[in-house]
Chain A
Amino acid sequence: SQQGEEDPQALSIQEGENATMNCSYKTSINNLQWYRQNSGRGLVHLILIRSNEREKHSGRLRVTLDTSKKSSSLLITASRAADTASYFCATDKGFGNEKLTFGTGTRLTIIP
């Protein structure tokens, strides 16, 4: 079954506002990654957070990880039109079972 599920499935916000997307997963993980996919393009890696980390920042991105709740959130601050894309979380279990399992994705639309 699908490892990760993103919430919400779709999100529309005004440019300049913050966007928050959530990812929940079902089993213990080694790492969690977030990827962005622009329409008609391949996925682009945004950030990786390890299971022993709680928060990570990269530019306007902030990722949190709560392993007790099996969930992660991606916050994009001061959104821009160029942030319009689908965002996916992906998890791996490590230790010989290292395939990346992707979530269902959140479609983010930034309204100029």
Chain B
Amino acid sequence: DTAVSQTPKYLVTQMGNDKSIKCEQNLGHDTMYWYKQDSKKFLKIMFSYNNKELIINETVPNRFSPKSPDKAHLNLHINSLELGDSAVYFCASSLTGTTDTQYFGPGTRLTVL
């Protein structure tokens, strides 16, 4: 069974559209994350949730809105997509906090045309 899963794996969309990426973990972890990896492979934290509570919110445009319906799920909704949003988005989870080992999903490659 996949520990951290994301859907979809690929997402191609037009500028201005709204899209969502879903993430689920079956590890029983308390903390989940969203990262963005750009074309130069630079990986940066976007959000972190612990037991459905937002604990890290980096300087991300408010077009990005995470939602955690329960501690096993963390979804990412993006409004009014821009060209610069094209990247690979990774979901991850860890048992308690950031200092624990993080388990990453396979990534969602978002291409905005």
Contact = CB atoms under 8 A, between A and B. Distances in A.
A31 B99 contact: yes
Contacts of B56: 99
B102 interface: yes
Chain A: number of interface residues, binned into ranges:
20 to 34
B43 interface: yes
Given A88-B43, A99-B56, A102-B43, A33 B101 contact: yes
Interface stretch (A12-20, A41-49, A55-63, A66-74): A41-49
A2 B104 contact: no
A79 B8 CA distance: 34
Contacts of A2: 42
B4 interface: yes
A97 B40 CA distance: 26
B107 interface: yes
A34 B48 CA distance: 20
Contacts of A102: 42-44
B107 A99 contact: no
B42 A42 contact: no
B99 A45 contact: no
A100 B42 contact: no
B90 A98 contact: no
Contact of B102 (A30, A40, A41, A45): A45
16 contacts: A37-B41, A41-B106, A42-B4, A42-B90, A42-B105, A42-B107, A43-B90, A48-B101, A94-B99, A98-B98, A100-B98, A100-B102, A101-B45, A102-B43, A105-B41, A105-B43
Across the A-B interface, give the 9 residue pairs with the lowest CB-CB distance, nearest first: A42-B104, A98-B98, A102-B43, A45-B101, A43-B104, A99-B45, A42-B106, A105-B41, A31-B99
Interface of B: 4, 40-45, 48, 56, 58, 90, 92, 97-99, 101-107
Interface of A: 2, 30-31, 33, 35, 37, 40-45, 48, 86, 88, 92, 94, 98-102, 104-105
